[in-house]
Amino acid sequence: MFVKRKPPKPEPRAHAVVVGAGVSGLLCARVLSERFDRVTLVERDALPEEAVARKGVPQGRHLHSLAARGSEILEDLFPGFDAELAAAGCPLLDQASDAVTDLSAGRLPRFRSGITMRAASRALIERRIRARLEKDPGIDFLPGREVVGLVPGPKGVSGVRTRLRGDGSAEEIVADLVVDASGTGSRAPRWLEEMGYEAPEETVVDARLGYATRWYRVPEDFPGDWKGVAVLPGWPETTRGGTLRRVEGGLWTAVLIGTGGDYPPTDPEGFVHFAASLHSPAIHDAIKDAEPASPVYGYRRTANRLRHYEKTRLPDNFLVAGDAACALNPSYGQGMTAAALSAMALKTCLDKNRTADLSRRFQRHQRKAVAPCWTATTNSDAQWAAGGLEDLNLARRILYRISEEVMKLAVERERVARTLLGVKNLLEPPTALLRPGILLPALARTTKHRPAKPTPTKSELIAGR
């Protein structure tokens, strides 16, 4: 006789501590609140009441993007979140019809793609998420307190050591689980070494990209039919690009980027002059007569850094999430979405109701979840890190040639452009660009447009070259 088994009860877990109250920490706390009686977020910064940038998020004043997949996850975790952003004045833009995207190969077609983005500042998104969590009686915030180490226990980690930033007073916080979501400045490698574990190996891909941001008031009589502009660099010659997007408050966020050390200036006159040097005039034409609403902010810490915790022996009850494990070049706009994917990886692991090997399972699951983000950013940045085509290995030279032709196809064909946007927004895997309908025409064009070998000179022939 068939007997239906009852689903296993979740293992009792009393208290989880999350290090860091940025987007990654907030999303992890939301997921943990479903399995733990109490969740405490320890944040070294003061947490402002208003939606303003804070010191602990050094790139917080710059433009942030929430890819379509990231928006879906936020809506799943916080029902009605998109409507809340809309009520705050954040415009919704279709990434093809409401945006101008200029590649070095040309302009993407403007059409209704259905791939949308809610254009909002990082500060507003973070503040609205935190406001949701503040209403949960099981979630506490400890701002102004810095985590300085882990507390060893009989089963791995049993809490964290903290220090109050004001008077330096120390306190240990007991926890059944500790999640480090403290971002790119994570000290987890040092904490692990203090406990006798090895720090993780790292993979770093640095394109020496820097960017500068200035906010402008949108002119009341602005005639443009777009809500956003993207002027993208093109390897290897076109090192400069930028983005301009309308956000809440009737403001534009203008970001200028330069790769390979060609950094944009941070003085007002130089900022506008740099915008005029882009291969498309769209951004310069918009801002040249607009009223500035901020100084120019610069940022250059843009290296991609992957700490291989998925290959590292970790103590039980300790996880490393978000940027603390996988930091991406911010200029690609995938950081918040990667944080959301990390949180969903944590949710998947917790839903299995197994805690014995949670650390190992989560790090491996997270690595797989954010792999598309890492691949997208590092494939491009690896090219910029190289001096030229001759510095790439054969596989990367072939990839570059094919990618170049795919970009040209995207300029000419709506279907290819939509697939490109789907991949960028993590709605489709990167392999979608290798479907026969895209790959075969790209390969044909690669062969057709293969550069001819230069005719050797007489002296080269004599030298046997």
**What global pTM score does this model have?**
0.89
Task: Please give the CATH architecture assigned to the domain spanning 210-299.
Answer: 2-Layer Sandwich (3.30)
Contacts with 39 (C-beta within 8 Å, 6 or more apart), sequence order: 15, 16, 17, 18, 29, 32, 33, 138, 139, 140
Residue 54: is its pLDDT beyond 70? no
Nearest to 378 by CA among 304, 283, 299, 431: 304
| pLDDT classification of 456: cutoffs 50, 70, 90 | very low
* Exposed / middle / buried, residue 146 (Cβ in 10 Å: 0-12, 13-18, 19+): middle
Average pLDDT over residues 379-400: 86
Amino acid at 272: V
291: left (phi over 0), alpha (psi -120 to 50) or beta: beta
What is the number of helices (H) and of strands (E) in the chain? 13, 21
Cα distances (Å, whole numbers) of residue 347 to 275, 314, 344, 352: 43, 19, 5, 9
Q: Label the pairing between strands 116-118 and 92-94.
A: antiparallel
Average pLDDT over residues 399-419: 94
d(CA 386, CA 259) in angstroms, rounded, equals: 11
The tens digit of pLDDT for each residue in 120-134 reads 988 999 999 999 999
The tens digit of pLDDT for each residue in 351-372 reads 877 666 899 999 999 999 999 9
d(CA 191, CA 200) in angstroms, rounded, equals: 11
Contacts with 342 (C-beta within 8 Å, 6 or more apart), sequence order: 24, 27, 28, 321, 322, 325, 326, 366, 369, 370
Superfamily of domain covering 15-64+121-203+303-376: FAD/NAD(P)-binding domain (3.50.50.60)
Confidence (pLDDT) at 183: 94
Share of the chain above pLDDT 90, in %: 75
The answer to which of 39-53, 78-92, 197-211 has the lowest mean pLDDT is 39-53
- Report the mean per-residue pLDDT for the chain: 90
The tens digit of pLDDT for each residue in 292-340 reads 999 999 999 999 999 999 999 999 999 999 999 999 999 888 999 999 9
Q: Where are the domains of the chain?
A: 15-64+121-203+303-376, 210-299, 388-448
Residue 257: is its pLDDT beyond 90? yes
Nearest to 312 by CA among 152, 189, 183, 147: 189
Residue 459: is its pLDDT beyond 50? no
Confidence (pLDDT) at 462: 42
Residue 458: is its pLDDT beyond 80? no
Confidence (pLDDT) at 388: 81
Confidence (pLDDT) at 391: 85
Amino acid at 95: Q
Confidence (pLDDT) at 352: 79
Average pLDDT over residues 222-237: 93
Alpha helices in 50-166 (DSSP H): 68-77, 81-87, 122-134
DSSP assignments along 109-136, one per residue: PP---S-EEE---HHHHHHHHHHHHHT-
Residue 345: is its pLDDT beyond 60? yes
| pLDDT classification of 66: cutoffs 50, 70, 90 | confident
Residue 463: is its pLDDT beyond 60? no
Beta bridge partners of 140: 40
| pLDDT classification of 445: cutoffs 50, 70, 90 | confident
| pLDDT classification of 418: cutoffs 50, 70, 90 | very high
